[in-house]
Amino acid sequence: MEGTRFRLFPQPRFLDDFEEPETVYVSSPAGSLEPGPADERMYTIFPVGKPSPYGINPNPGEASDVLMPPWKGEVHPLAEPDEDGHFDYLEPGTPQFEAAHLFGTVRFVMDIWEGYFDRPIPWHSARHYERLELTILPTLENAYSGYGFLEMGGDRKHGRYKPFSLNFDVIAHEVGHAFIYSEIGVPDPNGATGEYYGFHESAADLVALVSSLHFNSLVDRLLNNTSGNLYRLNTITRMAELSDNSQIRIAANDVRLSEFERGWIKEHKLSQPLTGAFFDIFVDLFHECLLDYGAIDAQMEDMSDQLLATPDYAPVMQALFDEAFARDPDSFKMALIDARDILGTYLADTWQRLDRNDLNFVDVARAFQSVDEDHTGGRYRALIKGNFDMRDIGHVRVGPQLQPLQKDSHANSVRTMMPID
C-alpha cells in the first residue's frame, strides 16, 4: 500500500525558489492517519488560548509548578485527511496546513533516520507518554523538543512573524535533539561536559542537513546552483534560515576547537568545530563517490584538497566543477545521494556507540572512525582523520564554562526537564 502524501517546504517559503511546497510520501499507509494528523507515535494540535509554553509554570500559584502535556483546552479544528487518506490537498495559510506540515515533517525525518538506524527510534518519554504531542504556540519565540512534546513557536526578530512549524530545518533540528535524548540520554546538569552540549547541537544540525537532502527538488537546485562545488555558500550549509541573508548556524565553517581552550559560553558556538568537521567529511565523501562514478579525476580531487581555505579555491575550482557537472550531471546527483546516505548511516551507527557520561568530541571522532572500519575496512580512514585533525579535535581540551547559561541554552531549558518519580 502506498504511503500518505503531504506537502512540505524543503526550505522556508520566503526564500527564492521555495515559495511552493513539495509533495512527499511518508511511510504511513494511506488511510491509516487520524485527524490532527495523528498516529500511534504522535498527535498534532494547534491550541487556542494556551497561555504559555510547556515547562516551568509562570504562575505556579494557579496550578502545578510545571506545565506538561497533554493540553486539555480548546484547539483549532483538526486537519482531516481526504477521502483517500492524504493531506496534500490542504492550502498554506490555514491552521490545518500548518499542523499537517508539522506532522508530515516529523514523520518524514523519522522515516529517514529509522532507515539509517535500521529500526524504530523510541521517544525518550515513552515511559510516561504513549504518544508525543506536536503542538503550535505562536506566542513562543523558540522551538522545543521536550519530555512528551515538541512545541513550535516562531520568529519575530526579522520582520513579520514566521512560524517554525513551516520551517523544515527547525523542526528537523528539534527531532534530532529527540533522537539524541533517546539514543544517548538526557544529560545530568551537574555532570555533563560542555562538549556533550556542543555535540548535541551538532547532531541536531546534522539531522536537519542530511534530512533536507532527501528532497529531490532541493538536491537538483543545489547541484544546478553550485555544479557540485559544495563549499560555495548554498542551501544545505545554511541551518534554520530566518531570512535571505541571516541564519542561525552555517555548517560550512572554519571554526577550530582550539578557539575554546580557554573556555566556552554558548554550546551553539562550541558545536561548530564538530559540525564543520562532519561537513568537510561529507564533501570529501562526495568527491570519493564522484571518483567512483568517473565524474571527476584524481587530479581534480587533489587540487580541491590543496587549494582548500586559500583565495584560489573559488575561482579555480568553480570553473572545474562547472565543466565536470555539465559533462555528467546524473553522476553528480547519484554521488551526492550516495555521500548523503554514507554520512547518515555512519552517524546513526556512531551515536549508538556513545555514552552521555563525560562525552567529548574525541569520543565522537573515534566512534565515527571505528564505524568506517566496520563498514569498509577503513577505506575513508585518512579523510576522516584529516578532517578531525584540521579542527583540532583530539589535540586540545575544551576549557571551562565561562558564564552562566543563557535562556536560549538547551542545557538550561525545558528540553532537559525530566519527571521525578
55-56 and 42-45 strand pairing: unpaired
In this prediction, residues 69-84 reach a mean pLDDT of 96
From residue 197, how far is each of 80, 88, 169, 303 by CA, in Å?
39, 37, 19, 36
Residue 304: give the domain boundaries: 194-390
> Grid coordinates representing 248?
542561525
Q: What is the pLDDT of residues 156-205, one digit of tens each?
A: 877 788 999 999 999 999 999 999 999 988 777 666 778 888 999 999 99
Last residue of some domain: 131, 159, 183? 183
Q: What is the pLDDT of residues 392-415, one digit of tens each?
A: 999 998 988 887 766 666 555 665
**86 has a pLDDT exceeding 90:** yes
DSSP string for residues in 31-54: T-PBTBTB-SSEEEE-BSS--S-S
My answer on whether 226 and 334 are in the same domain is yes
Last residue of some domain: 144, 163, 183? 183
**307 has a pLDDT exceeding 50:** yes
Omega before 187 within 30 of 0, i.e. cis:
no
pLDDT of residue 408: 61
My answer on whether 122 and 231 are in the same domain is no
**Pairwise pLDDT comparison (327 vs 188), residue with the higher score:** 327
CATH no. for residue 350? 1.10.390
| Structural domain contains residue 418 | no
| Structural domain contains residue 403 | no
My answer on whether 264 and 139 are in the same domain is no
pLDDT of residue 421: 45
Q: Are 411 and 267 in contact (CB under 8 A)?
A: yes
My answer on whether 301 and 217 are in the same domain is yes
My answer on whether 81 and 223 are in the same domain is no
**Pairwise pLDDT comparison (315 vs 337), residue with the higher score:** 337
| Structural domain contains residue 164 | yes
| Structural domain contains residue 419 | no
| Structural domain contains residue 408 | no
**301 has a pLDDT exceeding 60:** yes
My answer on whether 216 and 259 are in the same domain is yes
My answer on whether 177 and 321 are in the same domain is no
Task: Indicate the average pLDDT of the chain.
Answer: 89
**295 has a pLDDT exceeding 80:** yes
**247 has a pLDDT exceeding 60:** no
| Structural domain contains residue 417 | no
My answer on whether 21 and 143 are in the same domain is yes
My answer on whether 261 and 157 are in the same domain is no
In this prediction, residues 322-351 reach a mean pLDDT of 97
**244 has a pLDDT exceeding 60:** no
**Pairwise pLDDT comparison (264 vs 284), residue with the higher score:** 284
My answer on whether 233 and 368 are in the same domain is yes
CATH no. for residue 121? 3.10.170
My answer on whether 198 and 247 are in the same domain is yes
In this prediction, residues 350-363 reach a mean pLDDT of 90
| Structural domain contains residue 377 | yes
| Structural domain contains residue 166 | yes
Q: What is the pLDDT of residues 104-160, one digit of tens each?
A: 999 999 999 999 999 999 999 999 999 999 999 999 988 999 999 999 999 887 778
Provide the domain count of the chain: 2
- State how far the Cα of 212 lies from the Cα of 46, in Å rounded to an integer: 25
Lowest mean pLDDT among 89-103, 197-211, 239-253, 310-324: 239-253
**Which segments of 163-257 does DSSP mark as H helices, in order?**
168-183, 194-212, 216-226
Last residue of some domain: 136, 164, 183? 183
